[in-house]
């Protein structure tokens, strides 16, 4: 019996394990040094990415905060030589154009994203590829398309601007909606179907509520991307120094004010451009940060 007992030191498996441990122990110092080096490199590249963003925010704030007077928020844009100019008409125009684009784009993009998440096939692949291509299309091309499709036929208007902005927001909303819906555990949908509910009811009452944090995040990010675009508005809304909330007529918008006034040789108009840039930047930051905070809150509430 004792002859059949194996010596642990002669066991080849134990010998290999011991050699591996010895090699790992011999290289642990080198590996820890490499780990620290790469952690430092990652922090350096993080700083390189964050510092320009912080610099832009601080510089824009320093240059634009002086323009934030009561007249800035209550008066319309005025030409050089007329005091007390503001951007009230641009604020209203940006809100109206963004609202119209959002009301059309978000439901449409969500429906398309839902279809891509629920069904597979060649058509779904084509739509997904088209959405990816549209995401990378330069905004000036979207503006040219909006000009040809609407402006040449019906004239400059807020609706033409909303159409162009909506084309920029749509692919973002499609991909965000699909990603959010695919992130829902399939067991939830299978459980609902197993209980006898129709797929439409399960999707409306189970899948969409579970995907709501991702949908809201995608929607706010799409809005933030859309309201900051300048090139499509240059070719579609024309701009006006009068107050106008009718989207069927030419309108003013914050990106247009920034573009037009920043190149003027008059210091007061340049100051208004900086103030409008600060206002637009703050709106985009609030939408981006707010989308993540709201998504995190909804995620915790769901759990």
pLDDT band at 107 (very low <50, low <70, confident <90, very high): very high
pLDDT tens-digit map of 213-261 = 888 888 988 998 999 899 999 999 999 889 999 999 999 999 999 999 9
Question: In this structure, is residue 4 part of a structural domain?
Answer: no
Let me know whether 256 and 203 are in one domain. Answer: yes
Tell me: the pLDDT tens digits for 225-238?
Answer: 999 899 999 999 99
Please check whether residue 225 lies inside any domain of the structure.
yes
pLDDT score for 208? 87
Indicate whether 186 pLDDT > 60: yes
Q: Which residues contact 153 (CB under 8 A, 6 or more apart)?
A: none
- Residue 117 maps to a domain: yes
> Which among 38, 65, 92 is the end of a domain?
65
Angle at Cα 190 formed by Cα 303 and Cα 113, nearest 5°? 75
What is the end-to-end Cα distance of the chain in Å, rounded?
60
The Cα–Cα gap between 260 and 239 comes to 10
81 assigned to some structural domain: yes
For the beta carbon of residue 181, count every other beta carbon within 10 angstroms.
23
Q: What is the mean predicted confidence (pLDDT) over 183-208?
A: 84
Shared-domain flag, residues 220 and 76: yes
DSSP output for the chain: -TTTSPPGGG-HHHHHHHHHHHHHHHHHHHHHHHHHHHHHHHHHHHHHHHHHHHHHHHHHHHHHGGG-SHHHHHS----TT-SS---HHHHHHHHHHHHHHHHHHHHHHHHHHHHHHH--SHHHHHHHHHHHHHHTS-HHHHHHHHIIIIIHHH-S-HHHHHHHHHHHHHHHHHHHHHHHHHTS-HHHHHHHHHTT--HHHHIIIIIHHHTHHHHHHHHHHHHHHHHT--HHHHTTTB--SS----TTS-B--HHHHHHHHHTSS-HHHHHHHHHHHHHHHHHHHHHHHHHHHHHHHHHHHH-
Give yes or no: residues 170 and 283 share one domain. yes
One domain for residues 61 and 79 = no
Give this prediction's pTM.
Answer: 0.83
Tell me which of 29 and 273 has the higher pLDDT: 273
pLDDT (mean) for 65-82: 91
Question: Which domain-ending residue is among 65, 91, 123?
Answer: 65
Does residue 109 form part of some domain? yes
Of 6, 34, 65, the residue at which a domain comes to its end is 65
Question: Could you give the CA distance from residue 178 to residue 136 in angstroms, rounded to a whole number?
Answer: 18
Domain housing 142: 70-302
Same structural domain, 83 and 208: yes
Residues 121 and 160 in one domain: yes
Report if residue 95 sits inside a domain.
yes
Do 190 and 266 lie in one domain? The reply is: yes
Residue with tokens 């989207």: 247
Question: Are residues 33 and 147 both part of a single domain?
Answer: no
Which pLDDT band holds residue 288 (cuts at 50, 70, 90)? Answer: confident
Share of the chain above pLDDT 70, in %: 95
The answer to whether residues 85 and 217 belong to one domain is: yes
The verdict on 80 and 219 lying in the same domain is: yes
- Short-list 106, 66, 125, 96, CA closest to 221: 106
**Looking at the domain assignment, is residue 276 inside a domain?**
yes
Within-domain flag for 11: no
User: Which residues lie below 8 Å from residue 124, measured CB to CB, with a gap of 6+?
Assistant: 115, 116
CATH number at 280 reads 1.10.3720.10
Q: In terms of pLDDT, which residue wins out, 167 or 9?
A: 167
Q: Which pLDDT score, from 0 to 100, does residue 2 have?
A: 47
Residues 134 and 264 in one domain: yes
Domains identified in the chain, total number:
2
Contact 162, 97 (CB under 8 A): yes
CA distances 26 to 19, 37, 98, 244, Å, are 10, 19, 62, 75
* Mean pLDDT confidence for 177-205: 85
Same domain, 32 and 57: yes
């Amino acid at each position: 019996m004792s002859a059949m007992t194996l010596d642990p030191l002669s066991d080849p498996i134990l010998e290999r394990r011991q050699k591996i441990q010895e090699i790992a122990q011999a290289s642990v110092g080198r590996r820890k040094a490499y780990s620290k080096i790469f952690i430092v490199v990652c922090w350096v590249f993080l700083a390189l990415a964050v510092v320009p963003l912080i610099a832009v925010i601080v510089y824009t704030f320093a240059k634009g905060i002086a323009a934030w007077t009561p007249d800035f928020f209550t008066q319309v844009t005025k030409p050089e030589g007329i005091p007390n100019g503001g951007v009230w008409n641009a604020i209203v125009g940006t809100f109206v154009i963004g609202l119209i684009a959002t009301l059309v784009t978000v439901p449409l993009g969500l429906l398309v994203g839902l279809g891509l998440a629920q069904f597979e096939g060649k058509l779904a692949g084509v739509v997904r590829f088209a959405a990816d291509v549209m995401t990378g299309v330069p905004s000036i091309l979207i503006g040219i398309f909006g000009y040809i499709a609407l402006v040449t036929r019906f004239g400059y208007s807020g609706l033409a601007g909303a159409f162009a902005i909506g084309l920029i927001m749509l692919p973002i909303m499609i991909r965000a909606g699909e990603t959010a819906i695919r992130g829902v555990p399939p067991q939830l949908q299978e459980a609902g179907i197993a209980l006898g509910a129709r797929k439409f009811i399960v999707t409306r009452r189970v899948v969409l509520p579970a995907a709501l944090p991702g949908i809201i995040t995608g929607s706010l990010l799409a809005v933030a991307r859309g309201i900051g675009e300048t090139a499509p508005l240059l070719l579609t809304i024309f701009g006006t120094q009068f107050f106008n909330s009718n989207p069927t007529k030419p309108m003013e918008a914050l990106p247009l004010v920034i573009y037009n006034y920043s190149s003027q040789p008059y210091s007061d108009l340049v100051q208004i451009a900086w103030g409008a840039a600060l206002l637009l930047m703050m709106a985009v930051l609030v939408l981006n940060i707010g989308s993540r905070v709201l998504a995190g809150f909804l995620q915790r509430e769901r759990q």
